[in-house]
């Protein structure tokens, strides 16, 4: 099963993608996570990506597509994957479609998690992430058992530097300009499924499971 998660930054793509990956035993591929891991390791790719991420801008398509294709070549991708944060532009979506078409394959589902912009800003200000394992929490909607400590690995939780309100606003602008057109792109391919992302995260997950198990 090959799934693309669509939605504004903060809509809940990562939260739901992790749950999908666990239930359907497919890898969760988050381009944001891969860029952040590269930044932490101080690789050249990480240094290049940082400049764009800090500004709330997209990393250039060439770098991003190359990185994703490299990830696809790993063994665990054989039975599918859930893509979170990729594609984010029409050229990225086309590169993905072309790569899959070469193997006679295509995306099965593009799940758009719909959340209005006003809610997004609130969600992002409460997001906390584990620096060590990448688990995501929310101060109000999904708090850890012990404040500031990751339930999974016990490391400290931090706020992402690009979750500051001013960066969130530029990320939303970039989303509307460059990523939202992907909704029509996948609609035309007859794989688009829309989910109301304003509900409780377990209800959002149930709606997704209903689609995938149909
Ligand atoms: P994205 O991957 O789309 O950027 P995340 O999955 O990281 O978004 O979610 C953004 C923030 O909103 C996180 O703090 C997460 O815990 C919280 N969140 C996710 N889904 C919901 C939901 N349905 N209701 C309330 N908060 C949510
Ligand atoms: P995310 O973790 O998905 O919110 O992504 C964080 C940041 O990483 C984005 O604001 C972009 O700067 C960068 N990024 C992640 N995925 C992509 C992508 N597919 N194309 C370009 N930039 C990306």
User: Could you give all domains of the chain from N- to C-terminal order, each with its CATH number?
Assistant: 2-27+74-116+166-212 (3.40.50.300)
Select which of 36, 88, 128, 193 is catalytic. Answer: 88
pLDDT tens digits, one per residue of 153-208: 999 999 998 998 889 999 999 999 999 999 999 999 999 999 999 999 999 999 99
> CA–CA separation, 47 vs 42, rounded Å?
6
pLDDT tens digits, one per residue of 102-139: 999 999 999 999 999 999 988 899 999 998 998 999 99
Q: From 10, 31, 119, give the residue whose CB has the most ligand 1 atoms within 8 Å, as the site to mutate.
A: 10
Residue nearest atom 10 in ligand 1 by C-alpha distance: 10
7 Cβ inside 6 Å of ligand 2:
no
The question of whether 127 is a catalytic residue gets the answer yes
Which ligand has the nearest atom to the CA of 29?
2
> CA–CA separation, 99 vs 106, rounded Å?
9
pLDDT tens digits, one per residue of 4-44: 999 999 999 999 999 999 999 999 999 999 999 999 999 99
- Do residues 29 and 107 touch, judged by C-beta distance below 8 A? no
């Amino acid at each position: 099963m090959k799934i693309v998660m669509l939605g504004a930054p903060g809509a809940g793509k990562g939260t739901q993608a992790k749950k999908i990956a666990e239930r359907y035993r497919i890898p969760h591929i988050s381009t944001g996570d891969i860029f952040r891991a590269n930044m932490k390791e101080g690789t050249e790719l990480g240094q290049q990506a940082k400049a764009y991420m800090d500004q709330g801008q997209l990393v250039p398509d060439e770098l991003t597509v190359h990185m994703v294709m490299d990830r696809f070549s790993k063994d665990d991708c054989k039975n599918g994957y859930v893509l979170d944060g990729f594609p984010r532009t029409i050229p990225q979506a086309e590169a993905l479609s072309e790569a899959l078409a070469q193997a006679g394959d295509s995306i099965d589902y593009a799940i758009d998690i719909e959340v209005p912009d006003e809610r997004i800003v609130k969600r992002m200000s409460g997001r906390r992430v584990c620096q060590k394992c990448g688990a995501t929490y929310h101060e109000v909607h999904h708090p850890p058992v012990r404040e500031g400590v990751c339930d999974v690995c016990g490391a400290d939780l931090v706020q992402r530097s690009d979750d500051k309100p001013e960066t969130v606003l530029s990320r939303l602008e970039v989303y509307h300009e460059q990523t939202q057109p992907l909704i029509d792109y996948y609609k035309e391919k007859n794989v688009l499924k829309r989910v109301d992302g304003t509900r409780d995260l377990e209800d959002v997950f149930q709606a997704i499971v209903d689609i995938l198990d149909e």
